[in-house]
């Protein structure tokens, strides 16, 4: 059964022909963390990430409970356990985004980022999670910006150039490169009055 997590915007999980919104809870945090890491992650690291305020023994007990509760999900076989580590065998839109960027398919990459990474998954009560999420968002935002600037510098349809440069400006209204690109695309699209 195919398992795919869409992590840009509000996270969802696609399992077979069904799609479910991931609620903001520890179980979902575990899933998305494993999905983004795409490798084995030690239980100690997971426990410290999800329950940093708790003693190690209690944090590990909480992790065991979450992993046990995951067994009730139809895709539970995709959560693999090996000794002191876990991993999730699943596709993600983030992995596809990064793959498209590596392969120079910027147009494809830009369509995959449909919003901020893990929208609605901010956890103000967990500094470890917040710091990790902020770093991931920044990393992916920088990659998106670079691809978008590269794309608006290419020979593309003027309407698309206007839309993409507007998205860049929306992401950062003080981005001078985006402003210059937007004004240029407005002029090319015959909207010189808006470019002033």
One domain for residues 144 and 180: no
One domain for residues 101 and 162: no
Per-residue confidence (pLDDT) for residue 3, from 0 to 100:
92
Per-residue confidence (pLDDT) for residue 2, from 0 to 100:
85
Per-residue confidence (pLDDT) for residue 107, from 0 to 100:
93
Per-residue confidence (pLDDT) for residue 196, from 0 to 100:
61
pLDDT in tens, 133-186: 999 999 999 999 999 999 988 888 888 888 888 888 898 899 999 888 888 888
One domain for residues 4 and 74: yes
One domain for residues 134 and 170: no
One domain for residues 33 and 78: yes
Q: What is the 3-state secondary structure (H, E, C) of 109-170?
A: HHHHCCCCECCCCCCCCCHHHHHHHHHHHHHHHHHHHHHHHHHHCCCCCHHHHHHHHHHHHH
Q: What is the pTM of this model?
A: 0.90
Per-residue confidence (pLDDT) for residue 164, from 0 to 100:
87
> Tokens for 104?
């120079």
Distance CA 71, CA 53 (A): 26
One domain for residues 53 and 143: yes
What sign does the CA torsion over 168, 172, 174, 175 have?
A: negative
The number of folded domains in the chain is: 2
pLDDT in tens, 8-66: 999 999 988 889 999 999 999 999 999 999 999 999 999 999 999 999 999 999 999 99
Q: Are 30 and 50 in contact (CB under 8 A)?
A: yes
Tokens 């609605």 sit at which residue? Answer: 120
């Amino acid at each position: 059964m195919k398992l795919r997590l869409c992590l840009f915007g509000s996270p969802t999980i696609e399992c077979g022909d069904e799609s479910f919104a991931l609620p903001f809870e520890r179980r979902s945090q575990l899933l998305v963390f494993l999905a983004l890491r795409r490798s084995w992650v030690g239980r100690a690291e997971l426990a410290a990430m999800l329950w940093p305020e708790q003693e190690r023994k209690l944090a590990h007990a909480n992790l065991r409970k979450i992993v046990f509760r995951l067994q009730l999900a139809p895709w539970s076989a995709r959560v693999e356990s090996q000794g002191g580590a876990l991993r999730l065998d699943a596709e993600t839109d983030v992995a596809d985004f990064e793959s498209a960027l590596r392969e120079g398919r910027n147009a494809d990459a830009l369509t995959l980022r449909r919003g901020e990474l893990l929208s609605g998954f901010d956890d103000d009560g967990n500094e470890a999670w917040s710091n990790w999420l902020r770093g991931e968002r920044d990393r992916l935002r920088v990659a998106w910006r670079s691809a978008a600037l590269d794309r608006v510098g290419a020979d593309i349809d003027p309407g698309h150039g206007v839309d993409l440069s507007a998205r860049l400006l929306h992401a950062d209204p003080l981005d001078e490169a985006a402003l210059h690109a937007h004004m240029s695309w407005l002029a090319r699209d015959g909207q010189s009055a808006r470019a002033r």
